[in-house]
Each structure stands twice: as structure tokens, then as C-alpha cells.
Structure 1
Amino acid sequence: MIAAALAAWVDTARRYRWGVLALVALLTALSLWAVTTRIGVSTDTSTMLDPDLPFQQQNRAMKDAFPQLGGELVIVIDAATATQADQAAARLTEALAQRDGLFAFVSDLAGDPFFRRNGLLFLSLDEVYALSDTLAEAQPFLGTLWRDPSLRGLADLMGDAADQITAGGLDGVALPLGPVLDRMAAVTTAQSEGDTAARLDWRALIQGDAGGVAAARHLILAKPKRSFGSLTPAGDAMRAIRATAQDLGLTPENGVRVRLTGSAAMESEELGSVQTGMDVAGAITFVAVVSLLVLGLRSPRLILATVVTLIVGLCWTAGLAALAVGTLNMISVAFAVLFIGLSVDFGIHFGLRYKEERDRNPGPTPADNRAALRAAARGVGPGLALCAVAAAIAFLSFLPTDYRGLAQLGLISGMGMIVAFIANLTVPPALLGQWPVRPARNAGTGGDPAGRWAGRLEGALRRHARTVALVALALGIGAVALAPGARFDFDPLNLRDRGTESVATLFDLLKDPRVTPYTMDILADDLDAADALADRVAALPEVSSAITARDLVPADQDEKLMVIQDMALFLGPALAQEPRPAPDAAERRQARDALTTALARIAAASEADPVTQAAAGRLTNALNQLEPDTLARVAEALTGDLPPMLTRLRETLAAGPVTLDDLPEALRGRYLAADGRARVEVRPARDPRDPGQLAQFVDAVRAEVPTATGSPVLIRESGRTVMRAFAEAAGLALVGITLVLAVTLRRLRDILLVYAPLTLAALLTVATAALFDLPFNFANVIVLPLLFGLGVASAIHLVHRERAEADVSHAMTSSTPRAVVFSALTTIGSFGSIAASSHPGTASMGVLLTIAIGLTLVCTLGVLPALLALWPSRKDVGF
């Protein structure tokens, strides 16, 4: 009945072809109108999972209390010197603060006047004492530079150092001269060679390089006003930051590097990476599919009919998506690539079966063409219908799950499979009814000449059927043994493109152990409750610290202030004098001569150590080789950081007692909400990049405080939700497809034969993932549920053909095996193009889907014929 109905359907499309084609054109135009007017893309990744899940509600409550948390841009400024980084940050912050249309706030905490004055209080007591000792020794040195922060002052300083070395050796010199002279020589040489960004970092020299790279790095936080209707929600803000930095001259050529990271930057760049990957994948897929159609169909008219049907079906599916969904997410945008790869399978099977019928009965009359179309519909139509339903069930199985992002892709692709079935039994008959395919030259000889290799393969498999079955069983057992080694990667960082600036910058920041995005948050009713929770959580071995607003107030303030007051006593007079006017060109030349004279005395002094003598000699040679027009630039590079550095040092001597109310709102507001609620920030004691340790951290804290949230909780619970959704979807797909097979095939033998190669392919896919350490993740978890829907197609077609033929050899020499091969190859070509994406998550989905479909093809053509030979069909036996 189904075959007869489909044959009538195809014949109707052929008979009324012009009306059908007009209707097709109208529906396509309406679909394109719906796409252009109604469809959009949401880049809000928070909607990927059910918002009513408990951990989603807890995260939303934290964001409601502290809206400034999350979705931030971190502006990372690296410069040649710490002072240069501070100045660049101040200029950039001031400029961006004027762009209130793009930013909710721009915060430079390190450059805030509060921290410029009280910054020493936030050091440890030992660090304050160590700094006091260093500054006490350097007091004469600093006084000289404060009075004259120029090349002339440097010459005076080195003259005094030469006198002290001559009089009593290096013990009388405030700072180690060797490293100072060595760095001065390096900067001078670099400037003379054209490196205008080279500068002398006086803060690093005085602090003994204690800060390392971080000393010349400055961070700014900016909250962009994101537009989730754009593929780059924070794109406008990011472009504004980069343009402003360029306008201010904050460029690598000037010794300053400005980079962007943070969740907002990573999301925007990730979405751009996904979009680019999908665009490239779509183009590659279309080219690959058309190329395979040329090889497989070998008929221009058949190829044209299939391609037109593919385009029409894609337009219809997109139109249905616009009506049913409206707004796509970053997973469902992949429906186009999936549709191209899967829809063409219907066209290949129908087209090759139609061509087989034309070659078998190559009559020239319209009646012969009509008979070929009806025979193709009768022969392959029921199988296509079953494949469409199975694929739709596999896609739609995600609808009841909590994985909303994938459920949307499932809905669109499920509808797409029905669209593909309808289109491929409607558009090709209408086109081929008007422009029928010409029979092959050897038409009427029987069989598909290009598919005779399949007959030889089937013969070999039939002769060695038992061996093939045993090998398949052994492979299945081995795959079961390897399957437990497969793992799920919960960390979304591993799904991001490390080639993007934001991700590369984050990993650069993570080299500092003090920086981690893996902190948990606890929302308390007030600060006292937060302190009590922090004390409980901090006692856990998995926790390194639990911070509340009170922990922001510096400890040991009385003792630190005494030390600072002592520093003010011995530094204050030296930093209170009026600086001399900057030297002019003639005075700079005189200062250079005086400096080289002092350096020559230091190099010649027998009391100086060899390191200092060598450094003095290198600096002397570098200064003597300077061109007159580069002297001013070198002088600026050597002394330009001195005035702001010394001014900031003087500001820190005015520190006073600090209370919680004195803290800047930009900092205090991250721990105390406007309504009095308080936040506890919990930091991990172990490596959170390790999935096991991250799980222990989350479980330990949530066992103590079940409402704790934060990125580790989102990672952990999202992974659990996705795994649960995967299991539910796989179960639903298996049950649904089995029921459909039972109703349509009505034979236990045929159902088992359909599932045998599919089961082996699924086991081998999991084993391959385990063997080659290809983890499952949020993107590629769709593979196995889809395998149930897509993998059964090849087996269904072969089993259907075997039931219709007198024996299995006739089935294997027909067009069906060839259609199975080229259908699988087009699917592999489609998913393989996704694997070429630069986005790791998208690429991993393409890789695993390619592996799964490839293994399904091998198992279907390599194992199923042997099983058919071992268990031949009995036409009189039903289910």
C-alpha cells in the first residue's frame, strides 16, 4: 500500500509537472521571505540549557544580586615598563569612560587614586619591610633622580657612584650597579638600532624584578552592553577599544600591546569562529556533494534535478525554522550543513534507482519514462520513508531533554528530514518528467555496470560469511573492552579556538597562579552570614581561600603604617625638592659626555667587580656610537619613567587607615550588593583544569553549601545535564526507531539485521574515541543518537532490496549498494568539512560524525552481506 501510494504520488508530480514546479517556486519564494524577515540568531549561550534547572536558577540569582559580574571584557595591557603600562591604562580608561553608550562601566582598579595612595597596605608585612629596606639604601640615589630625572641626573648619579667605588668599593653604592648598567646598555643599544619601544624599567630595578612579567602588565575591566541579536554581542565594544588604543598610540611599535579577553571577548570571537567555520563548511560541503553527485549519478539531468531539489529543500527547511523557531542558537545554525549532507542521500537513492529502471527498460516513449519513475518510487520509496522517519526520530529525540540548544537543532533537522523526503519524491519526478534521463549505451543488458564490483565483494563475503561474522563479533567484544576509556570533556575552554586573541590571552594570564577563572560564588543574606560561610568552606582541603568583603581590608595596618611613616621620614625631604628644568640639546650632549666619563672611571676602578666593569664598558660604547639625532630619544628611554614612578612613590607615603567603607565601589560592589546581600568567592586549592579535581572541588563546596554557584558549578552541572540528555535522547531514538522498524519490516530477522552493523559501528566509534583520546563534549555528543537515525538508512535499503530480490546476489549487483556508498560519501564529505573548522568544538563534531558514518558504511557493506548469507530471507515468515 505504501509503495503504491508513493508511486501514485510520483506519477502525479510527473503528470502535473508544470503546476508542481510553479508551486515549488512559490513555496521556495515564501520560505526565502520568511528567512529574510523572521529568522535571527541569538548568541546568548546561557539559554543552551533549560533555565529552570536548579544550578541555572542559582547562577541567575547571583547575577541578579551582582549584575556587574560576568560578561566582562578584560583589557590586558603589556608594556616595556610598569610605568608605561600604568600610563597607557590611565589614558585608555579615561577615553573609554566617555563611551557610555557601549559600556556599563570601565574600571581600572590599580590606577584608582585610592590604590595609588594606599597600595602599600595591600602588600604583606614582609614585603613592606623589604621595600622599606631597599628604599632606605636607595634614598640618596632617589633624591638625586627626583631633583633631576634626566640624562644629566644620571650623569651626576654615576659620577657619585664612581667616587664611592674609588673611595670604598661597591659597598657604598645604594643599588647593584652591574644590573643597572647592563640594562641601560641594552636599552641604549636597542634604541640606536631602531627599536623605539625599548625603555628602562626603573620600578623593576628598584624592586629587584620581584614583579616579573606582571610588573609591566595592567588589567582593566569593562562591562560591554551586549547585543545578543548579533553574531558578535560585544563586537562594537571590542572594536571601540581597539580603535581607541590605536588612536592613543598604544601600539607595539610604541612599546605597548593591548589585548582583549574575558567571557564577553571569548564568546564574541568564538561565535565569529563558528560562523566562519560554518560558512566555509557549507561551501566545502556543497562543492563536495556536487562533485560526488557527478561521480555517482553520471547524468547531467539527474545531477541537476538532485541539486535543484537540495536547494529547494534547504530553503523550505530554513523557512520552517523561521516559522517554528524564529531565533537560532549557536548549535542550531549548523542545520544547513547537516541538511545538505543528509538530504542528498534521498536524491541519490531515488535517482540511481530511477536510472537503473531506465537502463533496464530503455524505451524512448513517455510511457517508458513514466514506468521508470513509478518503479523507482515503488522500489526505493518505502525505504526512503522509513529512513526519513528514523532520522527524524533521532533528531527529535533531543526535544524532551534539558539540552535546549541541541533540542532546537533536533527540531529543525527533524523537520528537514521530512522536507527532504517530500522534496525528493516531488521535484525530481516533475523535472525528469519533462527532461527524462537518457538510458546508458549498454541499456537493457541488466544490472548496474558500475556496481558489479559489489557483486564480486558480496560473493567473497558470502563464501567466507562465518569468518566475517566471527571477526565482526571479535571486533565488537574488543570495542566493548575499550569503551570505558572514552571520556567526556566538561571544560568549555577546550572547545574554544586557541588561535583567537581572547583565548590565547587567557592562557597567557593563567601562567600566573594567582589568576583563575575557576572560582565558586556563594550568596549570603548579609556580610556576617558570608563570613560564617567563608570560615566553614575555607576549612575544606579542596579550597585554598574563601574571600568576603572584610578580607579586602588590609591586615596589620598599624604596623604597616608605622613602616610607611618611617619611609616618609627618610624619603620625604628628598622627594620634596623642586626638580630642575629639563635639559636642552646642548645640556644633553654635555650630560652624555659626563656620563661616559663617569662610566670610564667605574670600568677602570680596580675595586669594581668584573660584571660591573663589563657593563660600564658596554654602556660607554653604546653611548659613544649614538648619532646626534638619537640622543634625545635615548635620554627619554633611559629616564622617561622616572618622574611618574617617583611621583607615585611619593603618593604612597601619604597612606592612611583603610576601612571597608573606604574601598572603591568598583571593588566593594563585587562582594557587597546594594540590598545588603554578600558574596563569598571560593578559590580552588588544586588544579581546576583537571576534570577530576574540578569535580572534587565542586562536590566538596556544594556538599557544604548546596546553593554555591560559579563557573566550576556551571561546567560540572552542565556536563551532567548534557550526559543525561545524551542518554535520554539515545534511549528515545533507539526505542522509537525500533518501534518503527517493527511496524514496517514486521520481521524480527530483518530488524536484527538492520541493527547488527549499526551496533557494531556504534561500539567501534566509542572505542575509536577512547583509543585515540577523542573526548566527547558539548558539541559532538550528538554523534551517537544521530548514528541510530542515520546509520540504519544503509542497512534498511539493503534489507529492503534483499527482500525484493530472489537472492542476495541480485540485491548486491543492483544500484542499491552504489547508492549506499555514495550516500555515505556525501554524508562524510559534509561532516568532514565541519571537521576542517578552526573551532575545536565544531571540528570535533565533524571528526566524530565522519568516523561514525565511515564505520557504519564499512560495517554495512562488509558485515551485512555475510549476515544476509548466513540468515537468508524467508518470504513467508513475518514478525
Structure 2
Amino acid sequence: MSVPERLANAITAHTRIVLVVLLLLTAAVGAGMPMVDDDSSLAQFEGESDESKALERINGNFTSEQQENTTRVQVIARGDNVLTKESLLSSLEFQQELRANESINETLVEEQPITGVENVVAITAINEERGAQLSAGVEEAIALQREYEQLNESANESDPEYQAQADELESQFDTLIEESTAGLSENQTAQYADSIDRIRSIESQRYGLDESDPEYQELTAELEQARGAATAGVLQSGESSPSIDDQIAALENLSDEEYDRTLENTLSSNESDDSAAIGLMSTSYEPGSTEAEARMTLLTQSTASAEGQGMGGGAVSEQLIDSQLEIRELAQTQAQDYLVFGSGLITDEIDRSMNDSLAIVGPLALLFVVVALLIAYRDPLDIVLGVAGIIAVLVWTFGFMGWADIAFNQMFVAVPVLLIGLSIDYAIHVFMRHREQRETQRVSDERTGRNATREQREADGTGGTVRGSMTTALAGVGAALVWVTATTVIGFLSNLVSPIGPIREFGIVSSVGIVAALIVFGALIPAAKIEIDELLEARGVDRHKRAFGTGGGRFSDVLTIGSSAARRIPLVVLLIVALLTAGGAYGATQVDTSFQEEDFLAESPPAWTQNLPGGMAPGEYHAKDDLEYVNEHFQRQDRQAQLLVEGDVDDDDFLERINETRNDTAESDIAYTLATGEPDVQDPLSTMERVAGQNESFNESFTAADTNDDGVPDENVSALYDQLFEIDAEAASQVLHRTDDGEYRSARLVVAINGDATNAETTSEMRAIATDIEDGSDGRWTATATGDPIVSYIVEQDLLDTVLESLVITLVAVFLFLSAAYWLTGGSATLGAVTLLPVAFAVSWILGTMYLIGMPFNVLTGMITSLTVGLGVAYSIHISERYRLELERQGNVWSALRTTVTGTGGALLGSAATTVGGFGTLAFAILPALRQFGIITGLTITYAFLASVVVLPTLLVLWTRYFGPDVSFDTAGAQTGTPTASDGGTEPNGGDGE
């Protein structure tokens, strides 16, 4: 007795023990289901590349213009003209509402949580008013000091009247400082008082000197510097922005002329002015214009204080998601049109699209399977058993995920559909073979006039009972099911070579689910069916059912197309296959790869989905359209490429090289251009230029370090860095890394990227720029191109590597497995290669189809090659194994082939229909990547089925002729009937089957 027969006997002889053990095991494994967490972050797909490690070093060694542990929400005002005073006031009032909302306000950072054009214009107006106030105070202080000097010149210090006048003047100075600094911080007030003291001292020294005196001129120059420090210097040293109430009041108090002038000055294109407002305008804005169709306000939220702080992989906490949803809800209540865009909203839509997809696809897949089984089984009890088995398989799979601590992500939405299709595939093969065996015995009994009891059938081994037929069915199909499971598991486990973590986890979970399907439908459900059928037949209920595809008719005729072609036109079949495969192979080389946020963002669901019952109806989706708008009109906060330069970055030649790099970047097509026409690039040199424009002492050092007057320092660079850190450590630490011992070991350049620039284009350009930095450096520094777009491109390449490597591994492993399996079971190892060949054809066809319909490799479709082999080989195995069995029993090629394609082919048609239909339901998913995966997988199953029933028969005939056993090819000796028995159609008494 063979191993499959012994296992089949063990299962069918101890059905109650099998039921108890497997049900308890199902409950134990299923206890892990509540422990399954979810993770929709795209960061989990990033591998351990040099670029990602460089990005980690940047995050660890540099601060960011966007503060650490923060995220930004972009609130974009849109309209005919969003620069009117009314529009800006409306935005400031909206900010008040945001700050008044407790759940939103508690997520905002403490310093400058909201920055918009409205804030910049209002603060400019306030600063202009305060500047005028401070300047007036300076002029009054100079006048008072002159009075004081005149008093000293004309009066006696011991005169009581002199002292009273001097005290009065000092009191006027105090009043002047108090009135001039109204609304300023303590630090600003103290700084202004120091400036007034300096001005008084300078004026005292100037008093009495002739204007032509060189000393007078020097003091006048010092006085001008002191004036600047007392006005612009004091305002720039502000510790916090004016309150929103003050900003609203400042705008309301401006006349129309004053408002237009302030707006033009704020939004001017003066390159020496680092205007924050320009960066908040759309790319179509004309600097200095008082009209615009869109402007942006940035809200900065803290991620460190949010709940779920410990979540890794770029996950967004529920608190931030909820707060951004509230921001959008508040925006929708405003009279002005706002677009709200943020990582929390994207995460929310990805999460909802996963849930909505499951809510739609899950029931549809089950409904389709039930309908398909109703057609194939035509028996309510078998349908119930099939559905119960599917549920058990899903319990095993998700229970394993919980125990293994594997999070549910976008990819795993496909797992239930995958397992539903595969589970029902197993069920159909077992049930159809069981029905074939029972039907064969019934026909045999009718022909011989025999009416044996169940005990007699068990005694003589005819297997006509429920238990006996199931034993024969499991023994006959068991080996094929084990082989199918093994090859499918090989296909999915080949994804373990992928550097992308979720793909590896998908392979593991799918493999566990497939093994669970084998256990459930190879033991649990057969045991349950035996117990139930025997119980019903003991009460007089006939449980005989005809197997799908047998007994002649239209289906049988369709299924015999492959066997007929193998007999009549084998060369034509091979020629057509060769042409299709060659075309597919060419298309395979042209398929693109894609890993972008857009792949996971849902579009607005079709109207019919709103009529779905209950919780199946999906919500609304805006992020994809909003993302396209932001890409077109603004700089996205997550679209930045970076260059990490490591080594002797304090070398005197370094800033010259940085200047050349910045010029190269400005000429690149990928660089985002501000409304001023300049690229948005942040680097050590640009930071120095900005600080030099604000600080006189640093400007002197900056200019002195430029020995060739080209605007770039070329000596004392290290000392210049030190001074930069002393003056503005925050700005310096954004572009320079200073170690604890004061050495400068790395620098970075941050380049804003166009929203429509592809990851491949960005990576190519930035790597070329990095190479230019390194060229001629003599090893003094190295440059690495990194940033989110480049890391995403690495993921795309990892996807392509996964496609190629998993395909090669799967093909080689499955070939070796099948060859060994057929050899060990007494067959020919060459049959393994023949069995695998149609699957290789199907891989070529599916890749060619992806090229024709423009479908790229993404995190789901990137597994299609291993999935095609893993799933497709199942159909070939069933055909080859049945053919080998029938060939041995009948001894005639054409009879064996006809029996195979009508018996096993019928079961394959049923399983293919349910699998295609199950995956086809993914076409209704809200998640775009899932829709693509469902479509391409459905086509994969179709191709694999056609290859097995149309192409494989021709290959099997050729194999039999040149490598197979010595059997008859006589068409005249072939059976003309449709043998349906699993024993080849021969009768127990040795009849011919007619």
C-alpha cells in the first residue's frame, strides 16, 4: 500500500478523531486573530539600502527646517483671488477656529505652529508699524541726547536746576523706551534699551565735532549700524510671533493703499530678501502681484506627543489622523474654498480603502464561490461544507498572523481572496473525485444487476460506500494535492529573497494558508462529509451526485479540445504557443516598476457602490485628486531629494564645489522652482548667504573669507562654520553636522523636487550630481544621493529584482521537485519538465499582457511571476498525474487523454472558474493596487488553465512518444465513451468500459 493510500485510510477510518483534533487545533490557532494589528505605512516597504542608511544618518545628525518629530498639514486656499484683504482675514479667523479646537490645538507645536501668507503679510504690517515706532524712538533719543549735551555745556552740574533738568531728560528716555517697545518681548525691550544706550554714547561723542572731521564720519557710520540694530535687529530677534488677534487687527487697520503696498513688498521677487511668503505661493504666481488663485498655509503638528509615539516605520498615530480629519471638516465649513492635505489624511484613506475593499470584495468573493459551487456541486450540503472549510482556512491564516506578530497591510487584503480560490480548488478536486468513484460503482452495480450492501462493498474493496469512495478519492488525488501544495508554497516562499519585508511576510502567510487549505480540505472537510453523508444515507437519503464535466454533453466536448488538437494538429498548437511566448517574452522586458503613494490612493468610488447595503458602501476619497493638485501647483513636503556629503567638509575648496553643485541643480529639470524663478535648494552656502544678509558681523567674516570676490568663501571655512553656529545654531545644524569635539564631518544639500518628476528621473539626476561632487575631491569627501524619492526608486528596483529572482528560484525549485517526485513514485523525471513547461508559457503570456495593458510591477503585481508558477503548476500537475494514472491503467494514449481532460479537466474548469471569479472580485476593490492585482491574477489563472487543458495534452503525447511507457497510439483502439472512473474507466471485472 502506497503512502497516499495509507494516509487516506487513516483519515477515513478515524473520522471522529480527525474532526476533534482539527477543530481543537483550529480554535487554538484562531485564538491569535484578535492579536492581528494593521500597518498602512509605506515606509515598511523600504529595505536596507545604502541610500536608506544615508537618510537615517541625515535624520540622526541634522536638524530639519521642519522640526524633528513633526509633520505638516498643507491647507491651500483656492479662489478667483485669494490675496484680497478679506481672504487673508478669513484665513486668520479660520486659524482662530483651529486653535480654539482642543483636539487640534493639542497636536500643534509650541513655536510657530501655523504659517501662511496671511501671517507673513500681517506680521510684516505689524513689523512696519513697530519699525516706524522704533525708528521714531531712535530719532527722539538722538534729539534728547543733544538736549542733554547742550545742558551739560551750558549749565553747572552742581546747580539744583541742572539736576532737575537732567532727571527730567532721563525720565523722558525711560518713557521713550517704554512707549517704543510696547508689544515687544522682554528680550526685545532689553535689546532696544541697549541700542538706545549705544546711540546716546555715539551721539555724545559726535557732539561738538565738525562734520568734516574723520572721527565724526566714523561715529556717524557706527550710529547707522546702531540704528539698524535698534529697529530691524530688534524685530528679527523676536522670540514669538504676534498673536492672531494682533495680526487680524493689523490687517483691519491698513488702508487699501497700505495693504496693497505691504502685500507687494511681502511677495516681491527681491532675491536678497529671503521671503517665506514666496515659498507659500503656487508656481504660477507672479511675484509682486496682488492677485493669485491659490496660496498655502502650513500647520506643524508634533508627532512625539501624539498617541502611538512608539510606532515605527513612519506610521501615523490615530490622534494625528483624527486631528487632520477635524481640520478638513472645519475647512469645509468655511466660506472660502480650502484643500487640506497631510500624512494623516493619506493614512486614513489608505486604511479606509483597505477596509472598504474588504467589505466589498469579501462578500462578493464568497457570493461568487457559492454560486459557482452551486453550479458545480448542485448540492446544498457540499456547498455548506465548502464554505465552512474556507472559513476554517482563513481562521488558521489570520490566527497565524496574530501569533507571528505580522501586521495586516495593503497587500494582505488579497490573502482572503487568494485562499478562498485555492481552498475551493482543493475542495472541488476532492469532492469531484469522490463523486466519480461513487458514480462508477453505481453504474457498475446497475450493469451487473448487483445490489451489494455497504458491508459487502467494504469487504470486497469496491469502495462504493461513502467512506470507501472517499478513501479511493483521497488516495487518488492526494498525491496531486500534496504536490500542488508543495509547488505553490515554493512559489510563494521564493519571495523570501525579496529585500522588501512585507513581500516576504506575504509569502510566508500565503504559504501557511495554503498548507492550512491542504489540511482542512484533505482531512477536516472529508471527515465531516463522511460522517454527514453516512448519517443521511442511513436514513434513506441518496447522496450520489454526478461529477462536474463528466457524462458527456457540451462541457465534455469543450474539454476535449486539447486532446483533439493533440491528435490532429500538434504542430500547429506548438507553433501558436511559440509565437505567443516569444511575443510575451518581449513584452516582459518592457514592463515598468512603480512604488509611489498614488499606487495606494483610491479614486472616488463609482456611483453604484453607494447603493450597496449596510457597511459595504465605501466612503468618500479626496487624497488622490488633492495630491495631483498639490503636485501641479505647490511643493509637496515629502518631495525632497538630499545629498549627504561626508568627509572634510571644512576644506577650503568645499564651498566652491557646493556652489557648482547648486548651479547644476538649478539647471536640472527635476528641481522645484519657486515663484521667483529660483530653485528651492538648501545647503551650507545658501544658509551662510541668508545669515550674512541679516547679521553684519557674519557678513564681514563671510566677505573676508572670499579672497577672489566670486561670492564664495575659499579660506577659513572652519572658522566661518564656527561663527555660523554661534549666530544661528538652528540654521547651521540643518546643513552641517558638528561632532561633540567640534569637528565638521558631513554636510547636506536639500533639493525640492517637482511633483511630476519620476523617482527614476530624480535618482538619475541626483546621482549624477553626487558623482560631480566627488570628482576631483581626491577622496576628501564622498557624496550619497538620498531622500524619499530616491529611497522609493530603490524599492522599485527591489521589486524588479524580486520579480526576476523569485521567478528563477521558483522555476528551478519546482522543476527539481517535480522531477524528483515523478522519479520517486516510479515515473519518469522528464515528466516534471513537461508538466512545468506550460506554466513557463503562461508566465510569458501574463507578462506580455501586463505590457499591453500598461500595468506596472508594484508591491502586489510584482509577485505575479512566482504566483503564476505557484498557482499555474497546480493545473498542470492535476492533468499530468491523472494522465499518468490513466495511461498506466488503460494502455492507450487517446483514451487516457480523453479520460483526463473530461474527468480532471472538469474539476479544473470548476476550480479555475471559482478562482478567477474570486480574484475577479478584486476588480471592485477601492484600493488601486488591489484592482490591478485582481485583474492580472484572474488572467494568470485563465492562462494557466488554458495551458494545462489545451497545450499540455500535446506535450504529454510527445512525451509519451519519446520518453514515456510503451503504450498504444492506435486511435481505433481508443474508447469512444467517456470513462469517468478514477481507475481509468475499466470495470472491476475487467470489462472494457462500454
**What TM-score do you get using the length of structure 2 for normalisation?**
0.63
- 2:161 maps to none
Q: CA RMSD in A?
A: 4.3
User: Retained in 2: the 8 A contact 1:62–1:523?
Assistant: yes
Query: C-alpha separation between the residues in 2 aligned to 1:445 and 1:120?
Result: 85
Q: CA deviation at 1:107?
A: 2.5
Q: Distance between the aligned counterparts of 1:802 and 1:475, measured in 2?
A: 26
CA distance in 2 between counterparts of 1:86 and 1:549 reads: 34
Query: Cα distance 1:73–1:264, how it changes in 2: closer, same or farther (>3 A)?
Result: farther
- For 2:575 and 2:693, locate their aligned partners in 1 and report how far apart those are by CA, in whole Å: 82
* Aligned with residue 55 of structure 2, among 54, 59, 68: 59
Give 1:294's aligned amino acid: L
Structure 2 gap ranges (5+): 129-248, 261-283, 446-452, 459-463, 535-541, 605-620, 672-678, 697-723, 774-781, 968-994
Would the aligned equivalents of 1:75 and 1:261 in 2 still touch at CA under 8 Å?
yes
Instruction: From 16, 19, 24, give the equivalent of 1:18.
Output: 16
Comparing 799-808 and 90-99, the one that deviates more: 90-99
Does the CA contact (< 8 Å) of 1:96 and 1:244 recur in 2? no
Distance 1:468 1:537, change over 3 A: same
For residues 259 and 148 of structure 1, the distance between their equivalents in structure 2, rounded to whole angstroms, comes to: 24
Residues 1:538 and 1:441: Cα distance change in structure 2 (over 3 Å): closer
SS of 1:336 mapped into structure 2: helix
- Equivalent residue for 1:548, pick from 666, 683, 686: 683
Q: 2:906 and 2:481 mapped to 1: Cα distance?
A: 15
How big is each residue's C-alpha offset from its partner over 1:81-107, in whole Å with a ceiling of 9 and x where there is no partner? 441354145325634687576456673
Match of 2:916 in 1: 828
Look up the match of 2:478.
381
What's 1:199 paired with?
A: none
| Alignment of 1:737 onto 2:737 | no
3-state SS of the aligned residue for 1:683?
A: strand
- 2:558 counterpart of 1:481: no
Partner of 1:42 in structure 2? 39
Contact 2:108 2:299 in 1 (8 A): no
Secondary structure, counterpart of 1:707 in structure 2? strand
Alignment check: 8 A CA contact 2:591 2:851 kept: yes
**Residue number in structure 1 paired with 2:766:** 698
1:348, 1:822 within 8 Å by CA — same for their partners in 2? yes
Alignment partners' CA distance in 1, 2:250 and 2:524: 89
Task: Give SS of 2:504's match.
Answer: helix
> Cα deviation per residue 1:581-613 (whole Å; 9 max; x = unaligned)?
xxxxxxxxxxxxxxxxxxxxxxxxxxxxxxxxx
Tell me how far apart the structure 2 counterparts of residues 336 and 108 of structure 1 sit (CA, whole Å).
44
**Alpha-carbon distance, 1:230 to partner:** 13
Residue type matched to 1:701 in 2? Answer: I
**Deviation, structure 1 residue 840:** 1.6
**Higher mean C-alpha deviation, range 258-267 or range 813-822:** 258-267
Structure 1 residues 278-357: aligned runs within 5 Å: 278-332=358-412, 334-357=414-437
Taking structure 1 as reference, are residues 793 and 486 closer, same or farther at Cα in structure 2, changes over 3 Å only?
A: same
Deviation at 1:791, TM superposition (A): 0.7
Identify the range of structure 1 (841-850 vs 66-75) with the bigger mean alpha-carbon deviation.
Answer: 66-75
Q: Check conservation: 1:332, 1:405, Cα contact below 8 A.
A: no
Q: 1:94 is matched with which residue?
A: 99
Q: Show the counterpart of 1:429.
A: 526
Q: How does 1:5-154 map to 2 (within 5 A)?
A: 5-36=3-34, 38-50=35-47, 52-65=48-61, 66=63, 68=67, 72-78=71-77, 81-82=82-83, 83-84=88-89, 86-88=91-93, 90-92=95-97, 94-95=99-100, 102=107, 107-110=113-116, 116-117=122-123
Partner SS state of residue 593, structure 2: coil
Pick the structure with greater CA Rg: 2
**What one-letter code is carried by the residue in structure 1 that aligns with 2:522?**
L
Is the CA contact 1:357–1:375 (under 8 Å) kept in the aligned structure 2?
A: yes
Q: 2:144: which partner in 1?
A: none
Matched residues, percent identical? Answer: 19
Secondary structure, in 3 states, of the residue corresponding to 1:212? coil
Quick one: which amino acid aligns to residue 624 of structure 2? V
Sort the Cα spacing of 1:515 and 1:690 in 2 relative to 1 into closer, same or farther, 3 A: same
Q: 1:260 aligns with which of 340, 346, 351?
A: 340
Change (3 A) 1:290 1:273: same
- 3-state SS of paired residue (2:32): helix
Are 1:75 and 1:221, in contact at CA under 8 Å, matched by a contact in 2? no
After superposition, the Cα gap between the structure-2 partners of 1:112 and 1:869, relative to the gap in structure 1 and judged at 3 Å, is: same
How far 1:300 moved relative to its partner?
Answer: 2.5
Deviation larger for 426-435 or 481-490: 481-490
Secondary structure of the 2:16 match is helix
1:239 to 322, 325, 329: 322
SS in 2 for 1:274: helix
Segment drifting more, 270-279 vs 105-114: 105-114
**1:393 equivalent among 465, 487, 490:** 490
Whole-angstrom CA distance in 1 between matches of 2:492 and 2:423? 14
Quote the residue 2:564 is aligned against. Answer: 460
Specify whether residues 514 and 13 from structure 1 end up closer, same or farther in structure 2 by C-alpha distance, changes over 3 A only. Answer: closer
Change (3 A) 1:559 1:403: closer
Whole-Å separation in 1 of the counterparts to 2:930 and 2:125: 45
Question: Structure 2 vs 1, CA of residues 317 and 295 (structure 1 numbering), >3 Å: closer, same or farther?
Answer: same
Alignment counterpart, residue 370 of structure 1, candidates 432, 452, 467 = 467
**Partner SS for 1:487:** coil
> How many matched pairs?
705
In structure 2, what residue type is equivalent to 1:47?
Answer: Q
Per-residue Cα deviation, 1:808-837 (whole angstroms, up to 9, x for no partner): 333345431011112122221222222322
Deviation at 1:494, TM superposition (A): 3.9
Q: What is the identity, as a one-letter code, of the residue corresponding to 1:218?
A: T
Q: Provide closer, same or farther for how the CA distance between residues 56 and 377 of structure 1 changes in structure 2, counting only shifts above 3 A.
A: same
Distance 1:349 1:476, change over 3 A: same
| SS of structure 2 residue aligned to 1:74 | strand
In the TM superposition, what is the alpha-carbon distance from 1:515 to its structure 2 partner? 5.2
Range moving further from structure 2, 523-532 or 405-414:
523-532
Pair 877,383 (structure 1): closer, same or farther in 2 beyond 3 Å = farther
- Structure 2 CA distance for aligned equivalents of residues 693 and 63 of structure 1: 24
For 1:716 and 1:118, the matched residues in 2 are separated by: 42
1:230–1:756 CA distance, 2 compared to 1 (3 A): closer
Q: Which moved more, 1:428-437 or 1:854-863?
A: 428-437
Equivalent residue letter for 1:736? A
1:371 Cα deviation from its structure 2 partner: 2.2
Q: Tell me how far apart the structure 2 counterparts of residues 31 and 399 of structure 1 sit (CA, whole Å).
A: 23
Are the aligned partners of 2:393 and 2:517 in contact in 1 as well (CA < 8 Å)?
yes
